[in-house]
A = this chain, B = another copy of it.
Amino acid sequence: MALGKDYAGQQCALARALELVGERWTLLVVRDVFYGVRRFSDFQAHLDIPRAVLTARLAALVEAGVLERRRYQDSPPRDEYDLTATGRALWPAVFALAQWALEFVPSAAGALREFAHIPCDRVVDNTGQCPACRRVAPADELEMRPGPGILTQTRTDPVSLALRTPHRLLEPLDLSAAPKPA
């Protein structure tokens, strides 16, 4: 990995984590896979990320064992990306960073999304803990729901439009109804 040499003198786990997911844009790509984005053109439309950067990030995440690649079409060749077990375990880090910004770097609009613990039908608190069962909910038990900030969202790419309705984390988004980017 690109950052390995820089952190080589660091034995701590945080340094190892940053070697794998500390590159610019990487955690935003990972977050999008939690939200159900699977295909290159959809990541690109949702993240406004340069094509070469997205290609490099996806390849690095596959190499790091965070994502796995699956061919879904041969002609022309097209791949889908999904989280491995290693990648799914990044949810608490993605959630914690987002919650921190929600509270301490607030936007005027409020939270775009809330996360509900599906078995209990309760929105988890800012530590990720369900107020009913007191478990810290893993990603596969969470449903993303639009929060108050969604009313001010101006993005109109297919992924942003699809995410305006409740959606279970890790399940692929159905983007067939939405207009595809050119």
Q: Which residues of A contact B (CB under 8 A)?
A: 3, 6-7, 9-22, 24-25, 27-28, 31, 47-48, 65, 86, 89-90, 92-105, 107, 109, 111-113, 127-129, 134, 136, 149, 153-155
How far is it, in angstroms, between the C-alpha of A24 and the C-alpha of B6 when the chains are bound?
9
**Closest Cβ of chain B: how far from A12's Cβ, in Å?**
6
Copies per complex of this chain: 2
User: Are B15 and A28 closer than 8 Å at their CB atoms?
Assistant: yes
Query: What chain B residues lie within 8 Å of A31 (beta carbons)?
Result: 12, 14
Known: A6-B25, A92-B92. 11 other contacts (CB 8 A): A11-B112, A12-B112, A14-B28, A14-B94, A14-B97, A16-B101, A22-B27, A92-B96, A92-B99, A93-B96, A128-B136
A93 touches B89 (CB 8 A): no
A111 to chain B, nearest CB (A): 7
Nearest-neighbour CB distance to chain B for A181, whole angstroms, equals 14
Give complex CA distance A98, B17 in Å: 6
Choose among B86, B94, B97, B103 the residue that contacts A104 (Cβ–Cβ < 8 A): B86
Asked if B112 and A13 sit within 8 Å, CB to CB, the answer is yes
Residues of chain B with a CB closer than 8 A to A99's CB: 13, 92
A-B complex: 5 closest residue pairs judged by Cβ atoms? A17-B101, A127-B136, A93-B96, A13-B101, A92-B96
A102 near B28: Cβ-Cβ < 8 Å: no
Could you write out 22 A-B pairs with CB less than 8 Å apart?
A: A6-B24, A7-B28, A11-B107, A12-B112, A12-B113, A13-B98, A13-B101, A13-B111, A14-B28, A14-B31, A14-B94, A14-B98, A15-B28, A16-B101, A17-B97, A17-B105, A18-B27, A22-B27, A92-B100, A92-B127, A95-B96, A127-B128
